[in-house]
């Protein structure tokens, strides 16, 4: 297959490009230098010129707190940019994968969110990503909307790398213990996306590693597994804390567990447990 990846310098984008190449696909990784997604003409020229079978749209404004004040930037990239990519992909006859987020829900639930539950984003980031979903659904005839959560990988900065660093530097480390979700390893997510684009099973999917934890429990696992796999020694004493102790400009979802209903009903194998993904990630860091 010929696949074009937007946001190819991001943490998911880099793993996707490598995986596509490894599996023998023709891949064109597009970052800002290659294609400005906010420019419709450029999107049509680049995507039309490459004539891909599929476009995986990873490019996004993901600075959750910054989006609260820079509203225009969030919507320009996440809504307008996604519209441009959708129009160009449709014109080229390509399948489109739009990477979305758990933030399209209010995060106040107590049971996992299904793909067709009502969305109710509480942040500008979530609202702008939901706007992107709506535009993709209305402009593309061959789309996969894939919502994911708590993403980390080898490339770029993320929670796991931050905890590995802080755990060796700080005497005490407070981590939020009242937000629940599913950590997602980029390699596992990328593998699922590659499986998806080979099909015509279009629609909305929730894709995260299976199983749930709080950020505090995730950190406990990071420390335990990093000590065993990497031989690291952590000086920090871990302390659970509440969301209120760490006020942020954008409210964080208290509960952002995604139910993998579409994965099961479309006959795909579920994504493996998050702890297995974490251990493989640490081995990769080795």
Residue ranges and CATH numbers for the domains of the chain are 2-158+182-212+256-274 (3.40.50.720)
User: pTM (2 decimals)?
Assistant: 0.97
Task: Tell me: pLDDT of 262 over 90.
Answer: yes
Place 79 in a pLDDT band, splitting at 50, 70 and 90. very high
Q: Three-state SS across the chain?
A: CEEEEECCCCHHHHHHHHHHHHCCCEEEEECCCCCCCCCHHHHHHHHHHHCCCEEEECCCCCCHHHHCCCHHHHHHHHHHHHHHHHHHHHHCCCEEEEEEEHHHCCCCCCCCECCCCCCCCCCHHHHHHHHHHHHHHHHCCCEEEEEECCEECCCCCCHHHHHHHHHHHCCEEEEECCCEECCEEHHHHHHHHHHHHCCCCCEEEECCCECCEEHHHHHHHHHHHHHHHHCCCCCCEEEEECHHHCCCCCCCCCECCECCHHHHHCCCCCCCEHHHHHHHHHHHHC
Mean pLDDT of 60-71: 96
Residue with tokens 């109710």: 120
Options 50, 98, 125, 216, the catalytic residue: 125
pLDDT range class, residue 286, cuts 50, 70, 90: confident
- Contacts for 246 with CB less than 8 Å, ≥ 6 apart: 174, 176
110-153 pLDDT, tens digit per residue, is: 999 999 999 999 999 999 999 999 999 999 999 999 999 999 99
Percentage of residues in the chain having pLDDT higher than 90: 99
Active site residue 125: yes
Q: How far apart are the first and last CA of the chain?
A: 32
Partners of 238 in the β-ladder: 173
Confidence category of residue 246, pLDDT binned at 50, 70, 90 = confident
Which whole-number Å values give the CA distances from 223 to 11, 165, 234, 238, in the listed order? 22, 11, 7, 10
Across residues 249-272, what is the average pLDDT? 97
Give residue 258's pLDDT: 98
Q: Find the mean pLDDT for residues 90-100.
A: 98
Q: What is the pLDDT of residues 179-216, one digit of tens each?
A: 999 999 999 999 999 999 999 999 999 999 999 999 99
**Cβ(64)–Cβ(159) below 8 Å:** no
Residues 148-169 have pLDDT tens digits of 999 999 998 999 999 999 999 9
Average pLDDT over residues 50-75: 97
């Amino acid at each position: 297959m010929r696949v074009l990846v937007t946001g190819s310098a991001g943490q998911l984008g880099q793993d996707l490009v490598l995986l596509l190449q490894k599996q023998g696909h023709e891949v064109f990784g597009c970052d800002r230098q290659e294609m400005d997604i906010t420019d419709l003409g450029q999107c049509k020229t680049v995507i039309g010129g490459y004539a891909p079978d599929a476009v995986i749209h990873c490019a996004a404004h993901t600075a959750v707190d910054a989006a609260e004040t820079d509203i225009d930037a969030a919507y320009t990239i996440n809504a307008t940019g996604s519209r441009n990519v959708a129009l160009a992909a449709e014109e080229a006859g390509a399948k489109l994968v739009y990477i979305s987020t758990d933030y399209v829900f209010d995060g106040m639930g107590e049971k996992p969110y299904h793909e067709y539950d009502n969305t109710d984003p509480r942040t500008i980031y979530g609202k702008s990503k939901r706007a992107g979903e709506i535009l993709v659904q209305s402009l593309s005839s061959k789309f996969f909307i894939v919502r994911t959560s708590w993403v980390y990988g080898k490339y770029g900065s993320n929670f796991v790398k931050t905890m590995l660093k802080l755990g060796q530097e700080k005497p005490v480390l407070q981590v939020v213990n009242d937000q629940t979700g599913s950590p997602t390893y980029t390699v596992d997510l990328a593998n699922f996306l590659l499986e998806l684009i080979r099909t015509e099973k279009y629609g909305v999917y929730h894709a995260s590693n299976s199983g749930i934890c709080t950020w505090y429990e995730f950190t406990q696992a990071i420390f335990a597994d990093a000590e065993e796999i990497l031989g690291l020694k952590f000086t920090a004493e871990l302390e659970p804390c509440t969301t209120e102790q760490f006020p942020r400009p954008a409210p964080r979802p208290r509960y952002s567990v995604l139910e993998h209903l579409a994965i099961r009903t479309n006959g795909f194998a579920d994504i493996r447990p998050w702890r297995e993904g974490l251990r493989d990630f640490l081995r990769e860091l080795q």
